[in-house]
Amino acid sequence: MSVEGPIDLVQQVRAHLESLQAAGVLLVPRGGPIAVPQLRLVPAPPPDAPARPVAAAAPVPPADPLESRRRDLDVLRAEVAACDRCSELFSTRTQAVFGSGALDPDVAFVGEAPGSAEDAQGEPFVGKGGDVLGRMIGACGFTRAGVYLFNAIKCRPPKNRTPTSAECINCRDFFRRQFELVKPKHVVALGPFVSRLLSGKNATLAELRGTVHQYRGVPLICTHHPDDIEKDKTGRLKRETGFDLKLLLSTLGREAPGAGAK
């Protein structure tokens, strides 16, 4: 094994003096102590030693688009939770109600705005109306977790009044971004307000039902709101909703269910 010899020692002292000079030390007292750096004798590697392997860079995992959209939805949810654009709704709501369900669902169901139960629980379509919607979803052969549920307006209007135009405009960007991130293949608008809002047509629900409209390039079916179906004692809205769900299923290329909302 060879070690560094006297020539290396001279070279290291010279290098040290040069570094002192570079640091502004111009005089070293003659005969005085010179701070000599700690010199370490480094054994030279044997000539036939293999080259030290260079650590390979860690592979960058491919981006998961679904995971990335989930993260973006979480960011959007936090934005909605902190939003105070509508001063009245902000001051009267318990909380904003964002939405829930699967990404890339076959169907997304869209309501108008949270009611009192949704406002209290922070979840869309809970309470009696939520039970009716659950039966509508089941009649189509889906589960609640397999579709996506959300409202056009994220905060409850006081006494469940109809949202104002200003509130619709304020919340429109949230809804659109959420829609783009969820990417449903079909949309069902629940009730006359959302049916007009998403179809862009100033028409009655009776006029909008029975036709496949489009919302941002996605097939859109208009039907009754579960709260209205629940309150209707004649059974008419339930029957009409059954027809609308059959239209949805035929648009999806699926078998029609045996029954609609019960």
Q: Which residues bind ligand SF4 (CB under 6 A)?
A: 80, 83-86, 89-90, 96, 153-155, 167, 170-171, 174
Q: Identify which of 172, 156, 165, 152 has the alpha carbon closest to the alpha carbon of residue 88.
A: 156
Least distance between ligand SF4 and beta carbon 198 (Å): 16
Scanning the structure block, which residue is given the tokens 């709501």?
93
User: Which CB atom, from 20 or from 120, has the smaller least distance to ligand SF4?
Assistant: 120
CB of 196 to ligand SF4, least distance (A): 18
Question: Smallest distance, Å, CB 166 to ligand SF4?
Answer: 9
Q: What CA–CA distance (Å, rounded) separates 6 from 18?
A: 18
The residue assigned the tokens 């994220």 is 154
- Measured from the CB atom, is 119 or 240 closer to ligand SF4? 119
Question: Residue 155 or 189: which CB sits closer to ligand SF4?
Answer: 155
CA distances from 102 to 145, 147, 161, 194, 226 (A): 6, 6, 29, 21, 20
CB atoms within 10 A of CB 179: 21
- Please identify, using beta-carbon distances, which residue of 147 and 153 lies nearer to ligand SF4: 153
Least distance (Å) from ligand SF4 to the CB of residue 149?
17
Grouping H, G, I as helix, E, B as strand and the rest as coil, residue 40 is coil
